[in-house]
Structure 1
Amino acid sequence: MHITKSEKGYALLLALTVLIILSILGLSLITITSNSIVKNENRENIVQAKDVSDKGVEFLTASIQKELQTYISAGTVGKADFQTKLNQIIQNSRYSCTAGGVEIPSESGQTNVCVDVNNIQNVYNEKNELQELKKIVPIISTGIVNGKRNVTTSRVMFGTDAIPDQLRYAISTNNGGNLYLHGGVEVQGDIKSDGNLILSRQATWFSGTTARWEDSVTTRIRQAANSVTPKLILNDQKNVFVLNTNNKPTYDEHVAGTRLTNTANYTRFSPTAANASASISAQFFNSPQLNVITKDLSDDTVEITGTILNKATRGTNKRYTSLNITTSTHETRSFAKNYETLVAGETDQCVSWFVFWCTKYEKTLTKSSLTINGASTTGNRTIDLSGTYYVYGDLNVTNTNLRTDALIYVDGNVTIRESTLNGIRENSTLIIFATGEINISNISVDRDTPSIIKGFFYTKSNMIMYGVGSHIQLQGGISANRLILTAVRGSSRSNTFESGAAQALLYDHDRNPITPNVPQRNSRLTVIYDQNLISEYTDFMRDKEEEFITEINAPEIIERSH
């Protein structure tokens, strides 16, 4: 008997089994894919919700900052006015969380952002002193995208240090004045020019009344210690000019700015042109690319004469009809930082006449001077000066190793010669606000080691500082109406200087430190911005309405959480 075997049944069963398995796998894959899509959509919604909630914080921060900026730009604003306005803005009911805050619709979702007005905080400095012109504002922003929510909570500090804008720069000009940088000046920090900026690769000095030009390099600028890129802040209506050293106008025409439009004498660079940062940066000697910023600069509102006259009527801790300091034991050395001293003469002035007879006299201020002279037979004396001084006249410092922790208002000229200036303590400095010209000269002439001047100098008039024969390192800053800084690099010997090519050799060595036998030729005039200026200035005793608020700090995010 024959038995026949058939595999058709098994094949059918196997095919059905495979089909069922594939169907199950397919459904599983579809389910997994669908779940993944949903999860991805959820994750994307969560990310977008976080993004729109962060943007809500940015929106409200910018809105508050804009209101403050608009307020101070509209007119003269005193400190008390600013404090009141700051509180009004940050407690505005339309920003308040209790009133619902601000709704910000967008294509991707919706944001509600508000100020937690019940938890606005005061700001204190490291000495635990209240900073009345600053507030820490809690901002709560809720972003919603397709039902997914994210809440961003930030604490943002608004306000101002209440300092003159000039203290924020290594070098600046005010009231429309031009800035002249002649030769190999070295600047570490930001530069602001309220007028035109004029560069020259030649330095200038005077032999008697004759202006002399010396070959050098152009100014080198580097970033301040806490910055990434040096900034050049320019008036959007002004320009940068580079002097043609082969076809120069007269010195008087040059510093007066009367020939700037002559293309034979100067090459002009517009700060608003395309690629301005790169083209202007290239005019500085071996400097990084600058961040060139243009804007409509605020008016200068530093008041000096009025501040001094107000002190005469309100009274100070000490008053001198004249002040001449020549010894290291003078009482001014022990004055406290907030100790106020007025230096002014006094005379009787008739205020009422009867025919030819005066029937009433009143005391009036007359000009006087603060003079510091440390000359002795064995060299310059070291003299300490601390406190706040109001000088209704000139300030003269000669032949003195002056150590200071002082703020001085001068309604006159300032002259510093054959002297050094340093702080009494590591962070101490000398801050001078003057109405007249500032002249700093004959400092460490022909020496290879610079004199260190630790201070800040402001004048509503002109200032010139030489680093040709002199050798100066200024740790602080300068602001003047017309400011001229002029310097060579390297050595100086009896009005003889190194060639321009030799002065440039330092930077070949900088790029290649193993280059042998390349002498280091530093600038004979270096300005290094001192970050301590702001805190030092705010530590001095000053009137509530002494300065107007012209600048506010950028908002600072103290804390952010999600």
Structure 2
Amino acid sequence: MNNERGSSLLLVLLVTIIIMTLGLTILSVSIGGAKRTEIRYDTTDAIYSAMQNMDKVILEFKNEINNIDLKIYNNKALYQVKLNDVVNQLKSNHPVGLTITDITADFLEDSTNYEHNYYSRVYKLEYEAKDQRDNQYDAVKTITRQIILSPTPSFLEYAVGSFGKEDDEGYLTINGSANIQGNMYANVLTLSNYANYKDDSGASTMPTPYSAFDGSAFVQKRLLLRSSPTDTPIGYEAIRLLSQPVDSSYFYKNNRPTFMMNSNDFVEIDFDATYDKKEDQLSPLDSNATVVTDGSEPNIIITNEADLLHNSEDWIVIDHPSVEFFSGYTPFNIDKNIYVNGDLTIVSEKEVSIKGNIITKGDLTFQVQHAPISYDGTAIVEGNINILGNDDETVVEDDEVNFNAVMFAKGKGFISNTNIAGLDDKQLVLLTKEDVVVTRINEFASFAPPDEDTDIFNYNSPASLKAFFYTDKSAIMYGVGSNFFIHGGVFAKKSLEINAIRGNIIKGYTLLKPSPIDQTGKKSRFTIIHDSSVLTSQLDALPQVDRLRFIVGEVTIN
């Protein structure tokens, strides 16, 4: 009996010790959790405070930049002094936690003396988030924003758009069911649920769902909504869009844009002045040049074996009305600037690679036959720019031109039967005085699979056109037979019309018309995803205006 009582006492003591230990452990965990919660609150407060301070810095920075008139600071050395003063003042106003670094050189192929050669700048702003523990400030996170200062026109900031100051300018029409990721800009924006197209029987229309958007729509005058080609559109004045939501039925799967108005902040491009300025900058008149003149032949054909390609000076100047570079037998490589007093056609039976500036007093044509063409440079073209692939309908379209280029044409732009890829992960920026036509891109190509992803803007395939297109006139694009995927943007001063359907399409004398229900859930045949990297990847070649754009990048917290 005594042994049983002793055992019971030991058991009670053991249970008591276990309970006390568990209690102390729970208490310790609770205290530690409370402490960690307190630290988390401190960290959150510190990050919030740092972000507020960063916003103040950006506002001060922007106000100072808006006061810089490039007409006054046309001397880039004085401009650099002014920028240094602005940055130093910001650091003085925020002596604790703020770091400002000029990272412009990271985006230039040749950063030699860039401070005195370019207006564009890229700054990295960092602000340390600090919390106070035991009366000491500890850095816990760093808030980072990228700021781009660029004297570039505003159209580069939009996926699609149309704007001009005249009454007949600024008309953006999106017919059918496109996917547009990025901001839009227009005086008048029209959306419809049918697509215009042309087949062998003539012009027609096809009913579709409406378009899907991921971004903001800056509408300056009005929004028009159509449900058939003959109906009276429903109209919303721009100011009304800010307070009255548009019915979700006008947007594919409720993927609607955020409607906004803009202050007088849109910076247009003066095409003629920009063209003349670029031509003056690139002119070979003061450079070493090899001059070729042959008036006896109607067309000069130059192959890769030609001595002038390898033995010439900085410029090859060809005084002839029609010149052809032809890679018929071996790859064609040239690392010179080219001036042609007439038309220049570049034909690729074998691979062609050209690095250098091009000036032509006639048309410039890239003609892909059986091998890709690569071009790295700036082109100034008095006539039209043509980018053409092989139009053989019996083979899969695999023609490709690779660009790291900014090209200006006083005539038209015509792109057909070819893909445009980015050279060195960059892109083409094409600006024309007259209309732009982009046609027969991946014509009647089928999606595999045709069903869209849960995120309808998620594309795993490479863009078929890595480019920005701008025209001082008008552009019409058809994503019906063609299959467009543009990583860049399209902008027209007068008017831009986009037509699009969803899913696969079968070629015939007349196109079979899938119903809007059958198109729902399918990938769009016209997709644009805005490429914001153009402002840094083409930093030294973009067209310039007389005022700086202040462009703020996304927030990162590390």
Q: What is the TM-score of this pair, normalised by structure 2?
A: 0.63
Q: 2:474 aligns with which of 462, 469, 479?
A: 462
Q: How many angstroms apart in 2 are the aligned matches of 1:442 and 1:421?
A: 10
Q: 2:148 aligns with which of 142, 149, 160?
A: 160
Q: How many angstroms apart in 1 are the aligned matches of 2:212 and 2:57?
A: 38
1:197–1:241 Cα contact (<8 Å) kept: yes
What secondary structure sits across from 2:541 in the alignment? coil
Q: CA deviation at 1:407?
A: 1.8
Distance 1:187 1:344, change over 3 A: farther
Q: 2:197 aligns with which of 197, 200, 205?
A: 205
1:156–1:557 Cα contact (<8 Å) kept: yes
1:271–1:292 Cα contact (<8 Å) kept: no
Q: How many angstroms apart in 1 are the aligned matches of 2:329 and 2:408?
A: 21
Q: CA deviation at 1:190?
A: 0.9
Distance 1:208 1:311, change over 3 A: same
2:179–2:524 Cα contact (<8 Å) kept: no
Q: Deviations over 1:440-481 (max 9, x none)?
A: 234455554799333221222211112234443334321222
1:303–1:547 Cα contact (<8 Å) kept: no
1:68–1:86 Cα contact (<8 Å) kept: no
Question: Corresponding residue for 2:364?
Answer: 371
1:392–1:412 Cα contact (<8 Å) kept: yes
1:138–1:153 Cα contact (<8 Å) kept: no
Q: Which amino acid aligns with 1:173?
A: S
2:50–2:143 Cα contact (<8 Å) kept: no
1:325-474 correspondence to structure 2 within 5 Å: 325=324, 327-328=326-327, 334-335=333-334, 341=338, 368-372=361-365, 374=367, 382-400=372-390, 401-416=399-414, 418-423=416-421, 425=423, 427-443=425-441, 445-446=443-444, 448=446, 452-474=464-486
Q: 2:224 aligns with which of 234, 237, 241?
A: 241
Question: Corresponding residue for 2:454?
Answer: none
Q: Deviations over 1:59-90 (max 9, x none)?
A: 33222212333345457547957755543233
What secondary structure sits across from 1:286 in the alignment? helix
**Fraction of identical pairs, as percent:** 15
Q: Does 1:172 align with 2:173?
A: no
Q: CA deviation at 1:552?
A: 1.6
Distance 1:39 1:404, change over 3 A: closer
Distance 1:123 1:542, change over 3 A: closer
Q: How many angstroms apart in 2 are the aligned matches of 1:543 and 1:472?
A: 24
Question: Corresponding residue for 2:106?
Answer: 125
Q: CA deviation at 1:530?
A: 4.6
Q: Which amino acid aligns with 2:380?
A: Y
1:472-491 correspondence to structure 2 within 5 Å: 472-481=484-493, 482-489=495-502, 490-491=504-505
1:343–1:392 Cα contact (<8 Å) kept: no
1:384–1:404 Cα contact (<8 Å) kept: yes
Deviates more, 1:68-77 or 1:427-436: 68-77
What secondary structure sits across from 1:486 in the alignment? strand
Q: Which amino acid aligns with 2:262?
A: K
What secondary structure sits across from 2:59 in the alignment? helix
Q: CA deviation at 1:333?
A: 5.6
What secondary structure sits across from 2:498 in the alignment? strand
1:64–1:89 Cα contact (<8 Å) kept: no
Distance 1:211 1:413, change over 3 A: farther
Q: Name the larger-Rg structure.
A: 1
Q: How many angstroms apart in 2 are the aligned matches of 1:47 and 1:528?
A: 38
Distance 1:333 1:295, change over 3 A: farther
What secondary structure sits across from 1:175 in the alignment? coil
Q: Which amino acid aligns with 1:493?
A: K
2:361–2:383 Cα contact (<8 Å) kept: yes
1:41-80 correspondence to structure 2 within 5 Å: 53-73=46-66, 77=70, 80=76
Query: Any stretches of 5+ residues in structure 2 without a counterpart?
Result: 1-30, 116-120, 285-313, 344-358, 391-398, 449-462
Distance 1:464 1:273, change over 3 A: closer
Q: How many angstroms apart in 2 are the aligned matches of 1:280 and 1:75?
A: 43
Q: How many angstroms apart in 1 are the aligned matches of 2:543 and 2:193?
A: 45
1:247-258 correspondence to structure 2 within 5 Å: 247-248=230-231
Question: Corresponding residue for 1:288?
Answer: 255
Distance 1:491 1:160, change over 3 A: same
Query: Any stretches of 5+ residues in structure 1 without a counterpart?
Result: 1-37, 102-112, 222-229, 249-263, 347-365, 511-519
Q: Deviations over 1:338-396 (max 9, x none)?
A: x65555669xxxxxxxxxxxxxxxxxxx9832332648xxx777544332211123213
Q: Does 1:88 align with 2:85?
A: yes
Distance 1:232 1:136, change over 3 A: closer
1:159–1:553 Cα contact (<8 Å) kept: yes
Q: What is the Cα-based RMSD across aligned positions, in Å?
A: 4.9
Q: How many angstroms apart in 2 are the aligned matches of 1:496 and 1:164?
A: 42
Q: How many angstroms apart in 1 are the aligned matches of 2:33 and 2:279?
A: 73
Q: Which amino acid aligns with 2:497?
A: I
Q: Which amino acid aligns with 1:231?
A: G
1:448–1:491 Cα contact (<8 Å) kept: yes
1:183–1:219 Cα contact (<8 Å) kept: yes
Q: How many angstroms apart in 2 are the aligned matches of 1:66 and 1:500?
A: 51
2:468–2:490 Cα contact (<8 Å) kept: yes
Q: How many angstroms apart in 2 are the aligned matches of 1:555 and 1:372?
A: 39
Q: How many angstroms apart in 2 are the aligned matches of 1:531 and 1:544?
A: 16
1:340–1:388 Cα contact (<8 Å) kept: no
What secondary structure sits across from 2:86 in the alignment? helix
Q: Deviations over 1:117-164 (max 9, x none)?
A: 8xx565653889769623344546777899896767746445206365
Q: 1:194 aligns with which of 164, 182, 186?
A: 186
Paired residues in the alignment total: 445
Q: How many angstroms apart in 1 are the aligned matches of 2:36 and 2:209?
A: 58
Q: Which amino acid aligns with 1:423?
A: A
Q: How many angstroms apart in 2 are the aligned matches of 1:469 and 1:166?
A: 28
What secondary structure sits across from 1:505 in the alignment? helix
